[in-house]
């Protein structure tokens, strides 16, 4: 089921120069799994902004978002007490119950967001994920401590080498000779392509594409897969690596 509701901002603070953490209070009963997203109505903007659910519980939703354009800029200026119109219950998230012992959670930039709730749930059922976060440079690094506080094993890669491994998340796997049996990934397309191409493990990835509705009726987000055309907002955003076609 989908739900539109009005949520109250209880927290909205910068984690870095471009990344914000927002906590919203309201109805979360339609959120089913890690990797789902919300669609945020921004005052004065025609389309909603899709943002992954970083974490949620009975009353709250946490979002991590980068300020990239006008919509996210407006979001970043909201103060506690502000109201936001959100659609929830959107998308099909990660397979939280996948049989695996040591999955890699690969986040590229803000793509780390949906992996947080996933890591929490994996740890809760005794699975020990390896979290690998990739950023451009040390000052962009966010969420590292959040994952560490959960008790996960965390590695960082930066393109300029200013923190952790120099290079991409896939370079960490190589450098540390990490042995995993599955992966979950979210990040920019070039990173997802590299992850799906380089890693021999099976896995699933969360795609990012421009959307209009976010609930499956406009076909603006439809991607060709090996099992036919799929809507990223409805059958996705999470897809099996084996299902994706890289052109």
Partner 1 sequence: MERDMKVTLSGVTLDNPVIPASGCFGYGYGMSEFYDINILGSISFKGTTREARYGNPLPRVAECSAGMINAVGLQNPGIDAVISEELPKMREKFHKPIIANISGFSIDEYVECCRKIDSQEQVAIIELNVSCPNVHGGGMSFGTSPNSVAEVVRAVKKVITKPLYVKLTPNVTDIVAIAKAAEEAGADGICLINTMLGMRIDTRTRRPIIANKMGGFSGAAVFPVAVRMVYQVSKACSIPVIGCGGVETAADVIEMMMAGATAVEVGAANLRNPYACKEIIEALPKEMERLGIERLTDIIGIVE
Ligand X SMILES: Cc1cc2nc3c(=O)[nH]c(=O)nc-3n(C[C@H](O)[C@H](O)[C@H](O)COP(=O)(O)O)c2cc1C
Q: Which segment (29-37, 144-152, 200-208, 214-222) binds ligand FES by CB under 6 A?
A: 214-222
From the CB of 22, what's the least distance to ligand FES, in Å?
22
Contact map string, positions 65 to 104, toward ligand FAD, x by CB under 6 A? xx-xxxxx--------------------------------
Q: Is 24 a binder of ligand FAD (CB under 6 A)?
A: no
Separation between Cα atoms, residue 123 and residue 138, nearest integer Å: 27
The dihedral sign for the CA sequence 25, 31, 36, 39: negative
The answer to whether 31 touches 91, Cβ cutoff 8 Å, is: no
Say which entry of ligand X, partner 1, ligand FAD, none residue 37 contacts (CB below 5 to 8 A, set by partner kind): ligand FAD
Collect all residues with Cβ–Cβ distance below 8 Å to 238 and sequence separation of at least 6: 35, 91, 92, 93, 94, 95, 204, 205, 206, 207
Using the rule CB under 6 A, which residue among 31, 105, 122, 233 binds ligand FES? Answer: 233
Q: From residue 54 to residue 73, what is the string marking binding to ligand FES with x (rule CB under 6 A)?
A: --------------------
DSSP string, 68-120: -SHHHHHHHT--TT-EEEEEEEESB---TT---SSEEEEEEGGGGHHHHHHHH
Query: Which among ligand X, ligand FAD, ligand FES, none contacts residue 108 (Cβ within 5 to 8 A by kind)?
Result: none
Q: Does 237 bind ligand FAD (CB under 6 A)?
A: yes
78 touches which of partner 1, ligand FES, ligand FAD, none (CB within 5 to 8 A by kind)?
Answer: none
Residue 213 as a binder of ligand FES (CB under 6 A): the answer is: yes
Which one, 69 or 161, has the nearer CB to ligand FAD?
A: 69
């Amino acid at each position: 089921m989908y739900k539109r509701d009005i949520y109250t901002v209880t927290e909205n603070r910068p984690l870095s120069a471009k990344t914000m953490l927002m906590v919203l209070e309201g109805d979360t009963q339609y959120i089913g799994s890690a990797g789902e997203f919300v669609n945020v109505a921004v005052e004065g903007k025609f389309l909603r902004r899709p943002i992954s659910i970083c974490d949620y519980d009975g009353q709250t939703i946490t979002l991590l978002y980068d300020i990239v354009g006008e919509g996210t800029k407006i979001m970043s200026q909201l103060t506690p007490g502000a109201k936001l119109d959100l659609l929830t219950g959107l998308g099909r998230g990660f397979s939280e119950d996948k049989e695996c012992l040591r999955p890699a959670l690969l986040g590229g930039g803000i793509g780390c967001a949906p992996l947080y709730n996933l890591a929490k749930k994996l740890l809760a059922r005794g699975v020990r994920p390896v979290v690998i976060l990739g950023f451009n440079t040390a000052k962009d690094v966010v969420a590292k401590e959040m994952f560490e506080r959960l008790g996960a094993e965390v590695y960082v890669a930066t393109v300029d080498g200013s923190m952790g491994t120099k290079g991409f998340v896939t370079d960490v796997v190589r450098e540390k000779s990490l042995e995993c049996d599955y992966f979950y990934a979210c990040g920019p397309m070039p990173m997802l392509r590299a992850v799906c191409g380089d890693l021999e493990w099976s896995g699933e990835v969360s795609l990012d594409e421009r959307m209009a509705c976010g609930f499956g009726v406009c076909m603006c987000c439809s991607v060709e897969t090996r099992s036919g055309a799929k809507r990223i907002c409805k059958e996705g955003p999470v897809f099996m690596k084996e299902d994706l076609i890289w052109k």
